Amino acid sequence: MSGFSLRRLLAMLHKEWRQMRRDPGTIGLTVMLPLIQLFLFGFAINANPRHLPTALVSADHSIYERDLVGALQNTGYFTLHRYPSAAAADEALARGDVLFVLEIPPGFARAVTRGDKPEVLMEADASDPVAVGSATAALLALNATALARDLPPDLRAPVPAPPFGIVLHQLYNPEQITALNIVPGLIAVILTISTLVMTSLAITRERETGTMENLLAMPVRPVEVMLGKIIPYVGLGYVQIGLILLVSVTVFGIPVRGSVVLLLGALGLFIACNLAMGFAFSTMARTQMQAQQLAQFAFLPSMMLSGFLFPFEGMPAWARAIGAWLPITHALRICRGILLKGNGWAEIWPDLWPMALFALIVGTIAVRLYRETLD
């Protein structure tokens, strides 16, 4: 055979082009998925979140309270919701319903008028330092100007002293150590990578290697095939959880303030969600490449819109709505809540039932899509 031949190269290119045309699904995924992800992430990601939910606890309904609340809202970082007591606000902070708790002491207006410089308490959920960083900086600059318009004349000066003080308590991660936020989230991310990708190849691998005929000839129902495919990965997932927790505690110093048993149970449900989704992709795809592309398309939004890399509250409402349907969003909250906050069953329940519903719906779809024939 002679050296390089342009004729043979063109024949090879023609052959590959005809083969690609026989697989329009892969071409469509290759073209459309990057475009969808580009528009999705381009509009959704925001590293400087605003309108953060803030609990307001106050019995001092005075003009100074209204001035302070108005100043906070004018910064654009805070959206205030009244709570009846500090205990109710603290529970909301532990669940993640709010990121800040503002407590205005009784007699606040009277103390300001007398020049006693009362203190306002602001508690911040610092488990995600990025989410609260800019808002905290804006808060600490407010006390010098927030009440200036309504202060008595004798308290005004060319360079006025702050009429009240702000005491900031940064809870759960007071030193703002990044590892305390990232490492618990990595538990959910690593489980997603392993369980979703591996399971998505389960049926397509059988089809491409030619063993699907043997599987179809067996007297097994679709749900039995699904359970037989995914149960081994449940055990593998728990091995990964054990290794990650061991390294997290011994190397990174991650605290374990809640129940490890509760965490393992919740992550078992999360693993079931990923395996059901992977099995659904495996039954939808014709080739392993299509299955991998579908898994990638599911994984990237899961990582970007869950609050792992970017603050969840910083995304627009439509992006948060998408993120609320993703199991990893709830798994992240559970991991951080149990490890950093010591959350119990009552606090994690709002994140458990969405994962259970997701696993039920997607698992049912996967069983329905399973084809008992090769056609």
Residue 180 has a pLDDT of 84
Residue bearing tokens 């939004």: 301
Residue 261 has a pLDDT of 93
Cβ partners under 8 Å of residue 162, min gap 6: 117, 143, 144
User: Residues in the chain, how many?
Assistant: 375
Q: What letter would DSSP give residue 153?
A: G
Closest CA to 201 of 290, 306, 73, 313: 290
Count of C-beta atoms within a 10 Å radius of residue 366: 27
Residue 159 has a pLDDT of 47
Q: What angle, rounded to 10 degrees, do the helices at 178-191 and 129-140 form?
A: 150
**Backbone dihedral angles phi then psi of residue 358, each to the nearest 5 degrees:** -60, -45
**Backbone dihedral angles phi then psi of residue 309, each to the nearest 5 degrees:** -95, -35
Residue bearing tokens 């509760």: 262
Contact 126, 180 (CB under 8 A): no
Closest CA to 135 of 110, 167, 100, 169: 100
Q: How far apart are CA 137 and CA 131, in angstroms?
A: 12
Global confidence as pTM: 0.77
**Backbone dihedral angles phi then psi of residue 313, each to the nearest 5 degrees:** -70, -10
Contact 51, 66 (CB under 8 A): no
The two tokens of residue 53 are 């939910």
Contact 366, 276 (CB under 8 A): yes
Domains in the chain (CATH in brackets) are: 52-171 (3.40.1710.10), 178-369 (no CATH)
Contact 122, 102 (CB under 8 A): yes
Q: What is the mean pLDDT of each run of 10 residues along the chain (375 residues)?
A: 68 70 62 64 69 87 83 86 90 88 88 84 85 78 64 56 81 83 86 81 68 60 68 83 89 89 93 87 77 79 81 82 91 92 91 93 82 52
Residue 91 burial by Cβ neighbours in a 10 Å radius (0-12, 13-18, 19+): middle
> In Å, how far are 130, 240, 280, 338, 364 from 252, measured between CA atoms?
19, 17, 36, 17, 39
Contact 315, 45 (CB under 8 A): yes
Residue 370 has a pLDDT of 66
The two tokens of residue 334 are 């559970």
Give, for 21, the enclosing helix (H) or strand (E): helix 6-21
What is the DSSP pairing of strand 119-125 with strand 100-104? Answer: antiparallel
Q: How far apart are CA 170 and CA 237, in angstroms?
A: 33
Contact 282, 293 (CB under 8 A): no
Strands (E), 108-254: 119-125, 165-171
